[in-house]
Amino acid sequence: MGREHGAGVNLTAVQARRARWASQLLGGSALTPAQVVDRAVALQGQDLPAVLRAIAIRSTPGTTIDDVRAAFDRGEIVRSWPVRGTLFATTPQHLANLLSLTAERIHRSTIARRAQLGLDDATLARALEVAPRGATRAEVLDAWESAGLDPAGGRGYHMIFHHAVGGSWHWGAFRGDQQLLVPAAARAADPDPLPAIVRGLATARGPVTENDLAWWLKLPKTAVRRALGGLTEVAVEGERAWIAGEIADPGDTGVTLIPGFDEWILGYERREFTATSAMQKALVPGNNGVFRPAILVDGVAVGTWQHRSKTRREATFELVEKVPAATAKRIARVIDAWPHV
């Protein structure tokens, strides 16, 4: 596969996308939801319905949204802010490991925001003391308001975020459609977790570049570079990259549907590898930070789509890139058959 390049193989863009598709488990796997998340280290979790679907499509065929929710209910998967100040679905152990590397940096980066919101140490300590456990976001905010801690203007969100980064709590089990804020079980971080984390990121996203890894973790490249041992060096169109294990070659991956905020789009520093500039704009209309579900054709994003829901009886899609008529028909059939409504 590909051309030899230094210590590894030089992959074409097509070969690299197909290898990534296999690494990302976009064709499904034999894994449970908890095993999928453990393998991936963490998956984008800003949008709760989207991450439930992102986990389901990577799990064993037949896995439902309820199956994924059950893994949260059992505490096998949690949701918190382990890197980049962004919500992710992860496992309790990965969360402890990631926060051991990132929490101090995240807290330092939000000092000015805390001051702007008037959240001094005493206020934050009081917020942790009076917050109910096993409660919805609304219940926590109500408790703070009753205690004289005004949660308006982003203060409530930041207090939840601050103590989650500090390891006090995370989002866990469900009550109806709402996820509950639950205490984090005491769990020690591994002595040197970064090599295993980097290997996990390469396993579930490879080939990845050093820049991809440093961007994903928001850690210095020097630290990431020291953690690359045991990975296999390859090249993607001449750029150094790494994989864990052998290069996968699934062939033409056909039509794949991914939910919004998926790691296929957000798991890498550069997105032009899988989406043109026009497609990237369509994925984030108005550059508002809300990523729409994408249609992939052999790993390339060609349009956006919406699945059926309680308020939308028919699935819809909109193509941005030109595709053959037969492919457009195939896209329509795949969307119609999407099971994770």
Cβ contact 44:84 at 8 Å: no
* Separation CA 302–CA 255 (nearest Å): 10
Question: DSSP assignment of 188-208, as one string?
Answer: PPPSS-HHHHHHHHHHHH-SB
Can you tell me the distance from the alpha carbon of 212 to that of 74, in angstroms, rounded to the nearest whole number?
32
Rounded Cα distance between 315 and 15, Å, is 31
| Start-to-end CA span in the chain (Å) | 38
pLDDT value of position 6: 43
Q: Pinpoint the alpha helices (H) of the chain.
A: 13-23, 33-40, 48-58, 65-73, 92-109, 111-117, 121-130, 137-146, 155-165, 194-205, 210-217, 221-226, 263-266, 277-283, 325-336
- For CA atoms 214, 217, 218, 221, give the dihedral sign: negative
Average of per-residue pLDDT across 8-27: 95
Tell me the per-residue pLDDT of 70-109, one tens digit each, with 9 for 90 and over: 999 999 999 999 999 999 999 999 999 999 999 999 999 9
Torsion angle, alpha carbons of 211, 213, 217, 220, to 10: -50
Higher pLDDT, 61 or 2: 61
Which residues, 6 or more positions from 318, have their beta carbon under 8 angstroms from its beta carbon? 282, 303, 304, 305
Checking DSSP bridges between strand 232-236 and strand 8-11, what pairing results, if any? parallel
* Cα 41 from Cα 332, distance rounded (Å): 33
Averaged over 248-275, what is the pLDDT?
Answer: 96
Identity at 276, one-letter amino acid code: T
Residues 6+ apart with CB under 8 A from 220: 214
pLDDT by residue (tens digit) across 148-159?
Answer: 999 999 999 999
Predicted confidence (pLDDT) per residue in 156-182, tens digit: 999 999 999 999 999 999 999 999 999
Residue 5 — very low, low, confident or very high, per pLDDT cuts 50/70/90? very low
pTM of the predicted model as reported, rounded to 2 decimal places: 0.95
In this prediction, residue 2 has a pLDDT band, given cuts at 50, 70 and 90, of low
Residue 56 confidence (pLDDT) above 70? yes
Say which residue the tokens 């959240």 belong to. 119
Residue 188 to residue 273: CA distance in whole angstroms = 38
